Amino acid sequence: LRTQRIITDMSESMNNVSFVTEQIAREVRVGFTFSGSGDSLQFINSDNEVITYSFLDGGIERCESNDCSKITAPDVNIDIERSQFILQGTEPGDGLPPRVTILISVVGEKDIRINLQTTISSRNVDS
pLDDT band at 125 (very low <50, low <70, confident <90, very high): low
pLDDT tens profile 68-124:
999 999 999 999 999 999 998 877 777 778 899 999 999 988 888 999 999 999 887
pLDDT band at 49 (very low <50, low <70, confident <90, very high): very high
Instruction: Give CA–CA dist 74/35, Å, rounded.
Output: 27
Instruction: Give CA–CA dist 84/73, Å, rounded.
Output: 18
Burial tier of 117 (Cβ tally within 10 Å: 0-12, 13-18, 19+): exposed
pTM: 0.88
Is pLDDT above 90 for 3?
no
**In this predicted structure, what is the pLDDT of residue 126?**
62
